[in-house]
Amino acid sequence: MEELASIPGMSDALKKCIEFRHWMHKHAEGERKEFNTQRHLTKALIDVAKIDASAIKPCAGTGLVVDIRGTKNIQSKKEVIKSIALRADIDGLKMKEDNAGLEYASITEYAHMCGHDGHSATLLFAACLIQSQRHLLPKDTIVRLLFQPDEETLGGAELMIKEGCLNGIQEVYGFHNTDLFAAGLVGLKSGPIMQSIADIVIRVKGKGAHSSCPTMAKDVISAGAAIVQNLHLVQSRHVPSHENFCLTITKFHGGDCNNVFPDDATLEGTIRCFSNEVYQNATAKIREIVKESVSMLGCTAEVEFNAYRPAVVNHAKQTEDVRQLVK
């Protein structure tokens, strides 16, 4: 940080980036509704990072693509990477922030509980730094900044790519904050680093009845509870122990009152792993377990797997290059 502070304007830029992060946290947006975030980011890129407005383009509706081009009057060698992209996400989770003691706590129906405000503010500061030093970059090189919307529901990246955000880019870099390391430390790993993810939705159907007459019901609550209990067998009995696999049910809804068996119930969660083969085998086993779990109570169930996204796999050479830079 002392080295950055020695660069003219960086101390002031850092303060303004922190202010931007606080604003973004307080006014969290999501699900491709990040219009205010996009406007404030654009303004900050122009006013704080001193980037020309012509270099800032909207993408995927509420995202941004920003190109910073080198100005040094030399030609880079052919083997040198001439174009890289740096990526951050800008959306929040749809949830209320229970943090009344924080002066910049979210005042919207969304909250930055996954740290995307920090990611965006960090990339904004990177924009300030790169823009201030672009005279050191050969004029045939480019650094592209990607501010991605809609990361939480997984559609933003695909839409940005379809609109050309990676056209002409040779390498892409990003990071995710974590509390697993002390402040100031950077974790690096080649190969698989972030698991694939898919949503799971299980709809259980039975027969309602009054709670005083349980034998007249086809009990979807007990069936759902059996599903949750038995799904733990997927990891412990059907996925090899050396595989990183995570199946989590986080939502279970059934019924509207306390003295009536409902006709149906819904369970939702996520599946995460690194191997597509593991994913395919696990989803087949999940369907089997769900069917068997509900049948003993006379219920039926439908299982859906949605929004599958593959694992993030870091390139070995590029990981080592970054490792050497941050040593």
Supply the CATH number for residue 249's domain: 3.30.70.360
Q: What percent of the chain has pLDDT over 90?
A: 77
Q: 51 and 158 share a domain? A: yes
Residue 315 counted as domain residue: no
Give the residue among 277, 255, 274, 273 at the shortest CA–CA distance from 264: 255
pLDDT at position 1 is 54
Residue 322 counted as domain residue: no
- Average of per-residue pLDDT across 104-109: 96
pLDDT at 244 exceeding the cut of 70: yes
Q: What is the pLDDT of residues 61-90, one digit of tens each?
A: 999 999 999 998 886 666 778 999 999 999
Interior angle at CA 151, CA 83 and CA 176, nearest 5: 65
Instruction: Compute the 3-state secondary structure of the chain and give helix, strand, coil in percent, each to the nearest 5.
Output: 35, 25, 40
Predicted TM-score of the model (pTM): 0.84
CATH assignment of the domain containing 139? 3.40.630.10
Q: What is the DSSP string of 242-255?
A: TS-EEEEEEEEEE-
pLDDT at position 53 is 97
**Domain ranges, residue 136:** 2-177
Q: What is the pLDDT of residues 15-57, one digit of tens each?
A: 999 999 999 999 999 988 999 999 999 999 999 999 999 999 9
Cα distance from N-terminal residue to C-terminal residue, the chain = 15
pLDDT at 2 exceeding the cut of 60: no
Domain count for the chain: 2
Q: What is the pLDDT of residues 287-306, one digit of tens each?
A: 999 999 999 999 999 999 98
Residue 18 host element (H or E): helix 10-26
Q: 209 and 161 share a domain? A: no
Q: 54 and 143 share a domain? A: yes
